[in-house]
Structure 1
Amino acid sequence: MKKWLILAYMTLLLGSQNSVYAADIKVYAASSMTNVINDVAQEFEKKFHIKVIPVYGGSSSLARQIINGAPADIFISANSKWMEFVVQDKNISSDHMTNLATNRLVVITPSSSKLARLELSDLTQWQSALNGGRLAMGDSASVPAGIYAKQALTALKHWAALESSAAPTKNVRLALALVGRGESPLGIVYKTDAQLTDTVKIVGEFNESSHDKIVYPAAIIEQSEQAMLFFDYLRSFQAKRILNQYGFQ
């Protein structure tokens, strides 16, 4: 009888552990992290046999979804303020947060454009390059890349003149796509995104002092063993190698 009880207990214990590690991990991540998280998730799944389900979008949209009850286990933002918004609402402790990487802000044009370099301080060059077209960028009211773009243009004293030319998008990848398709003559995106495709080329890079530092904070939203495991993996050498491969610093 005693042996049977011990065996039953061990079976129950092992079963509960398997159920913990069998659960999927839902990772809500900024769209500019798409390629990185896809690669990290693939390596993580091979190593731990836990499925990762990424959900990509603008940081502001993802933050609102999480606050409204979206089933996120991990949140990776492209903006510290949107992360703070979630952290305060979910009462997340500092030991469940980390900064994964940093990025740079650049100006792009279609690869077929004759423009080789844009002198960012010269407003007339911006206007000439746009030639009545639209400046593709994230929504300056909510999308991190758009917020940084507005800050940079304001620092150059160009925002008042260029605001009406802006074509606001819901996330930075949509701004990249507009320029890549030739629908916008200029765009402002992250350097890592611009390096992903040969449909655009970089013609200018903003000074980092012209905008808030572009940081990618990550946090555990729903505390579980599998979420902790993925969170730790995001800080591993393997994950940092992938981040570096895509140009993140």
Structure 2
Amino acid sequence: MSRQIPALSRRALIGVLAAVPLALPACTAAPPPLVLAAASLQEAMRAAADAWARMGHLRPTLSFAASSALARQIVAGAPADLFVSADMPWMDAVEKAGRIVPGSRAVLLGNRLVLVAAAGNPRTVPLDQAGPLLAAIGGGRLAMADPDAVPAGIYGKAALQKIGAWDRIAPQLVRAENVRAALALVERGAVPFGIVYATDARASTAVRVAGMFPAGSHPPILYPVARLSQGRSADAEAFRRFLLSPAGKAIFASFGFTPR
């Protein structure tokens, strides 16, 4: 003879069964892509993620830092889906470590390197030779991303070397952890000048472009994108293709980046 389930137990069982359909989608749904991107891409990449979400996809999760820091995390095994670097060498390091899905690497964007000053500083500084820059800085300080590791700093060092200013200016540098940190030093008035990307200057109302480095004074500023082998999102490849599409590149162009 079968036993009758006590009333309290039946209610508890019904509650558990009712919760199962709600719990299953959360457990089985594919996660949104996790994108590790150079600090200079913040506004543009957020806009691209928003556009992707409006198309009915899960909005990608975005994490920004210096390309050098992100590359080290990826090589150490960080479970991200896409990497967008601000230079080729750090993407090379990730690829050499076997962390890139073969065939997924492509050049996404380009940029320019500029000297910025506080918005209230009207000075214009020609940057085809050392003299005007040295005169503008005088005994003051110059902010830039770490020239030993961070792409913006590496490009900046190359440009300063090209115009013959590096040896004189190096002792006066304020080295920042990434290009946005260098920008913030100028915004706050902590230093009179900084070297950042043109898109960083465009993103801030607190600074103005005091000069633009000649394109030939440093290696081409290129942003490669690649899918990572340790990624978990089934949507990662589709989002990568969206970034590389005319619609995706148009978003970045609206923030001042040069599509490639």
TM-score w.r.t. length of structure 2: 0.84
Distance in 1 separating the partners of 2:199 and 2:158: 19
CA distance, structure 2, for counterparts of residue 243 and residue 96 of structure 1: 20
Cα displacement string for residues 19-72 of structure 1 (whole angstroms, at most 9, x for unaligned residues): 776312110000001111101111112213313110000000000011112121
**Aligned with 2:250 (options 241, 245, 248):** 241
Q: Pairwise CA RMSD of aligned residues?
A: 1.9
CA distance in 2, matches of 1:207, 1:246: 21
The alpha carbon displacement at 1:18 in A equals 9.9
2:160 aligned partner: 153
State whether residues 194 and 201 of structure 1, in contact with CA within 8 Å, keep that contact through their aligned partners in structure 2: yes
Going from structure 1 to structure 2, the CA distance change for 1:68 and 1:182 (only over 3 Å counts) comes to same
For the pair shown, the structure with the greater C-alpha radius of gyration is: 2
Cα distance in 1 for partners of 2:35, 2:59 equals 11
CA offset at residue 203 of structure 1?
1.3
Q: Among 177, 180, 204, which residue is 1:197 paired with?
A: 204
Q: Which residue number corresponds to residue 73 of structure 2?
A: 65
User: For residue 21 of structure 2, what is the aligned residue in structure 1?
Assistant: none
Normalization by structure 1: what TM-score? 0.88
Partner letter of residue 157 of structure 1? G
Label 1:102 to 1:76 Cα distance change in 2 as closer, same or farther (>3 A).
same
Residue 103 of structure 1, aligned match among 98, 101, 111: 111
Alignment of 1:215 onto 2:216: no
Contact 1:23 1:51 in 2 (8 A): no
Deviation at 1:125, TM superposition (A): 2.7
* Structure 1: gaps (5+ residues): 1-15
Which residue number in structure 2 is paired with residue 82 of structure 1?
Answer: 90
AA aligned opposite 2:108: L
Contact 1:21 1:50 in 2 (8 A): no
Contact 1:21 1:226 in 2 (8 A): no
CA contact (8 A) 1:21 1:225 kept: no
Greater helix fraction, Structure 1 or Structure 2: 1
Instruction: Give me the whole-angstrom Cα distance separating, in 2, the residues matched to 1:235 and 1:25.
Output: 16
Identity of aligned residues (%): 37
Mean Cα deviation higher: 97-106 or 48-57 = 48-57
Tell me which residue corresponds to 2:56. Answer: 48
